[in-house]
C-alpha cells in the first residue's frame, strides 16, 4: 500500500512535469484524412512516443486508456486520470479476458482509445494483435499515428528507447489512414500493414524536418561543401548511393552555366548525385534541386533586406535530398536519382557580369541579362546532365526560382510548368493528396519566343510583363531534351516569415511530401 502511495505521488509530479513541458511545445497535427476525433477510433502508436499522447488526445471528450497493472502503470495512471481518461487496468492482449471485455464495452459506447501498439514490454515497434483484435470485433477504425520530435531526450536504458521532447521543441503528429478490419481478415497480415504504415509516416515526417532544418540553417553553416557532406552522411545511412563531383570534374562535363554562377565565390561548387536503384533495367525518375546556398544577386546585387533570407535559396536541393532520405529509408521499389548543382552566387573579381555570354553543358549559349537570375543557369546544366546521361523516365526540378511566381500565385502555392500532361497530372494528384498547393501555368508560343536571345541562343531573363515565372520554366525546358518534365517553383511556400496552416514560421519542408508520394505511386500507365 505504501509503495502504491509512493507511485501515486510520483505520478502527480509526472503530471505537472508533463504540463510544464507540453506548454512550451509547438505541436503540428496533420490530419489529411479529416478524421473526426470526437467519433470512436482506436489510435495506435509506438510505446517510445507515449509521453506526448495524453496531451494530443486531451480534447477528445470520450476517451479511455490502458494502464498496465505494474508499477509503471500506476505511475502513468495519475496524469491520465487528471486529464479525463477512463482507465482500464490490464493488457490489450486478447488473452487477457477481463481487460478486453472492458475495452470492448467502452468502444461500443462511443469511446476512443489511444495506446501503444507494441504494448508495455515490446519488442520495440512490433505490433501486437490486441488493438487489431479490438478493431476487428467492434468495427472501430484503427488509426496509425506517427509522432516525431525535433529535439528530444532518449532514455537509452529503457527497452523502447523512450523519448521525451525537449522544452520548446517541435512535435509533428501525423494521423494515418484509418484501417477497417473485417471479421474474416487475418490479423497477422495487419500487423505488418500497421508497422509499415507508421514507419512510412515517420519517415516522411523525418524527411520534412530534415528539409526544414537544412533550409533554416545559416549560409556560414550550410554551403556547398557541408551540403554535400550532409547528403552523403545522411543518405548513405539509408542505403542511398551518393557521389560528389568536384570542380575539375564539373569542368570536364563542360557545365559552364553552373560554373559561371559559382566563379564569384571563394567556396568551390559541388555537383551532388544521389542514387536509389533497386530495380534492374528500369528508367529512373530524376529529381533536380536548386542548390544556391547563398544568393547575393551577384553584380545585380540585392538590397540588404533582400539578402537576409537568401540562405533559403537552396530549398529545392533540401527538398530532393530529404525526399531521397525517405525513399531510401522506406526502400521504395522505384529507381530514383537526385541531382544538385550547389554553389554560391557572390561578388569578386572573377564573378560573371550582366551582359556576359556564357555556354552550357548542352552547348547552347546564354545572354546574362541579370546575374540575379542565377538559379536557372545552375539548373540548366543539372537538368541537361539528367536528360542526356541518365535515360530518365521523367524529370522533376524543384527551385525557389522567381519572385514572379509569388506575385502570380501568392506565398502558399507552388507554381508549375510542364511539357507533359500525364506526368503533371500525377504530381498534381500527389500534391492534392498530401495537402500541398500546386497550380500549373499556361505556356504559349509567345513565352517561348521571349526567351530567345539576340546574340546568344537564350536570355536568362525576359522583359517585364512577359510572365517571369512562366518564362523561367520555358528557359529550363530547353534543356530537358524532350523528356517528360515538370518544373516546380517553390519560391512562395518554401519559407515564410509567419506560421500558416500546418506550416511553422521559417522553412516549411515543401514539397517533400508531394515528391515522396509521387515517386512511390508513379507508374507508366
Rounded-to-integer distance, Cα 365 and Cα 371, Å:
15
Nearest to 344 by CA among 314, 303, 316, 319: 314
The pLDDT tens digits of the residues spanning 80-97 come to 888 888 888 765 554 467
Rounded-to-integer distance, Cα 522 and Cα 525, Å:
9
Shared domain for 44 and 159, answered yes or no, is yes
Residue 212 lies in a domain: no
The pLDDT tens digits of the residues spanning 455-512 come to 999 999 999 999 999 999 999 999 999 999 999 999 999 999 888 777 788 999 999 9
Residue 158 lies in a domain: yes
Query: Of 148, 180, 205, which residue is a domain's last?
Result: 205
Percent of residues, the chain, with pLDDT higher than 90: 78
Residue 159 lies in a domain: yes
Shared domain for 165 and 20, answered yes or no, is yes
Name the 3-class secondary structure at 488: strand
Shared domain for 239 and 154, answered yes or no, is no
Shared domain for 223 and 198, answered yes or no, is no
pLDDT above 90: residue 229: yes
**Cell numbers found for residue 339:** 541531382
Shared domain for 298 and 363, answered yes or no, is yes
Name the 3-class secondary structure at 271: strand
Residue 351 lies in a domain: yes
Q: Report phi then psi at 292, rounded to 5.
A: -80, 105
Locus of grid cell 529529381: 287
As a whole number, mean pLDDT of residues 93-112 equals 81
pLDDT confidence of residue 170: 87
Rounded-to-integer distance, Cα 117 and Cα 104, Å:
17
Shared domain for 193 and 312, answered yes or no, is no
Shared domain for 59 and 168, answered yes or no, is yes
Residue 235 lies in a domain: yes
Name the 3-class secondary structure at 1: coil
Residue 210 lies in a domain: no
Count up the domains in the chain and report the number: 2
Catalytic residues: 302, 376
Shared domain for 232 and 190, answered yes or no, is no
Query: Of 181, 205, 229, which residue is a domain's last?
Result: 205
Shared domain for 370 and 221, answered yes or no, is yes
Percent of residues, the chain, with pLDDT higher than 70: 96
**Cell numbers found for residue 417:** 510548368
Shared domain for 442 and 362, answered yes or no, is yes
pLDDT above 70: residue 417: yes
Shared domain for 256 and 330, answered yes or no, is yes
Instruction: Write the CATH number for 510.
Output: 3.40.630.10
Q: Report phi then psi at 21, rounded to 5.
A: -65, -45
Could you give the C-alpha distances from 220 to 229, 272, 503, in angstroms and in order? 14, 19, 25
Query: Domain of 198?
Result: 2-205
Residue 308 lies in a domain: yes
Shared domain for 386 and 477, answered yes or no, is yes
pTM for this entry: 0.91
Per-residue burial over 31-54, b if 16 or more Cβ lie within 10 Å, else e, is: eeeebebeebbbbbbbbbbbbbbb
Residue 239 lies in a domain: yes
HSE at residue 497, side-chain half, CA atoms within 13 A, is 2
Query: Of 183, 205, 227, which residue is a domain's last?
Result: 205
**Cell numbers found for residue 331:** 526502400
Amino acid at each position: 500500500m505504501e509503495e502504491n502511495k509512493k507511485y501515486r505521488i510520483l505520478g502527480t509530479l509526472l503530471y505537472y512535469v508533463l504540463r510544464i513541458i507540453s506548454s512550451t511545445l509547438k505541436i503540428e497535427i496533420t490530419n489529411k484524412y479529416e478524421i473526426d476525433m470526437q467519433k470512436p477510433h482506436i489510435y495506435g502508436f509506438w510505446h517510445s512516443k507515449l509521453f506526448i499522447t495524453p496531451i494530443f488526445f486531451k480534447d477528445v471528450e470520450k476517451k479511455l486508456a490502458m494502464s498496465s497493472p505494474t508499477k509503471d502503470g500506476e505511475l502513468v495512471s495519475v496524469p491520465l486520470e487528471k486529464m479525463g481518461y477512463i482507465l482500464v487496468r490490464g493488457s490489450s492482449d486478447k488473452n487477457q479476458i477481463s481487460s478486453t471485455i472492458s475495452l470492448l464495452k467502452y468502444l461500443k459506447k462511443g469511446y476512443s482509445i489511444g495506446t501503444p501498439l507494441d504494448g508495455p514490454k515490446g519488442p520495440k515497434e512490433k505490433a501486437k494483435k490486441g488493438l487489431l483484435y479490438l478493431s476487428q470485433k467492434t468495427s472501430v477504425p484503427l488509426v496509425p499515428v506517427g509522432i516525431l520530435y525535433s529535439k528530444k531526450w532518449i532514455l537509452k536504458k529503457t527497452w523502447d528507447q523512450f523519448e521525451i521532447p525537449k522544452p520548446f521543441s517541435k512535435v509533428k503528429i501525423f494521423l494515418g489512414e484509418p484501417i477497417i478490419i473485417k471479421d474474416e481478415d487475418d490479423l497477422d497480415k495487419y500487423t505488418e500493414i500497421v508497422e509499415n504504415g507508421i514507419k512510412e509516416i515517420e519517415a516522411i515526417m523525418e524527411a520534412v524536418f530534415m528539409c526544414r532544418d537544412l533550409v533554416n540553417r545559416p549560409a556560414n553553416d550550410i554551403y556547398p561543401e557541408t551540403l554535400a557532406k550532409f547528403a552523403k552522411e545522411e543518405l548513405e545511412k539509408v542505403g542511398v548511393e551518393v557521389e560528389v563531383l568536384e570542380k575539375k570534374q564539373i569542368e570536364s562535363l563542360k557545365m559552364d552555366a553552373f560554373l559561371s554562377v559559382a566563379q564569384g565565390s571563394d567556396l568551390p561548387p559541388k555537383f551532388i548525385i544521389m542514387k536509389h536503384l533497386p530495380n534492374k533495367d528500369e528508367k529512373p525518375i530524376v529529381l533536380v534541386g536548386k542548390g544556391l546556398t547563398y544568393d547575393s544577386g551577384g553584380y545585380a546585387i540585392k538590397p540588404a533586406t533582400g539578402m537576409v533570407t537568401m540562405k533559403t535559396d537552396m530549398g529545392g536541393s533540401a527538398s530532393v535530398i530529404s525526399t531521397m532520405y525517405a525513399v531510401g529509408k522506406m526502400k521504395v521499389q522505384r529507381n530514383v536519382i537526385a541531382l544538385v548543382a550547389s554553389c554560391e552566387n557572390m561578388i569578386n573579381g572573377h564573378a560573371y557580369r550582366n551582359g556576359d555570354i556564357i555556354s552550357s553543358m548542352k552547348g547552347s549559349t546564354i545572354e546574362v541579362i541579370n546575374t540575379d537570375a542565377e538559379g536557372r543557369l545552375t539548373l540548366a546544366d543539372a537538368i541537361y546532365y539528367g536528360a542526356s546521361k541518365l535515360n530518365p523516365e521523367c524529370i522533376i526540378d524543384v527551385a525557389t526560382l522567381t519572385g514572379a511566381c509569388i506575385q502570380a500565385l501568392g506565398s502558399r502555392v507552388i507554381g508549375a510548368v510542364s511539357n507533359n500532361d500525364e506526368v503533371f497530372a500525377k504530381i498534381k494528384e500527389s500534391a492534392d493528396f498530401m495537402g500541398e498547393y500546386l497550380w500549373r501555368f499556361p505556356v504559349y508560343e509567345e513565352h517561348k519566343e521571349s526567351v530567345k536571345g539576340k546574340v546568344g541562343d537564350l536570355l536568362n531573363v525576359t522583359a517585364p510583363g512577359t510572365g517571369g515565372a512562366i518564362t523561367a520554366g520555358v528557359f529550363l525546358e530547353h534543356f530537358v531534351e524532350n523528356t517528360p518534365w515538370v518544373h516546380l517553383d517553390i519560391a512562395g511556400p518554401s519559407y515564410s516569415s509567419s506560421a500558416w496552416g500546418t506550416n511553422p514560421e521559417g522553412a516549411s519542408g515543401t514539397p517533400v511530401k508531394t515528391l515522396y508520394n509521387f515517386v512511390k505511386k508513379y507508374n507508366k500507365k
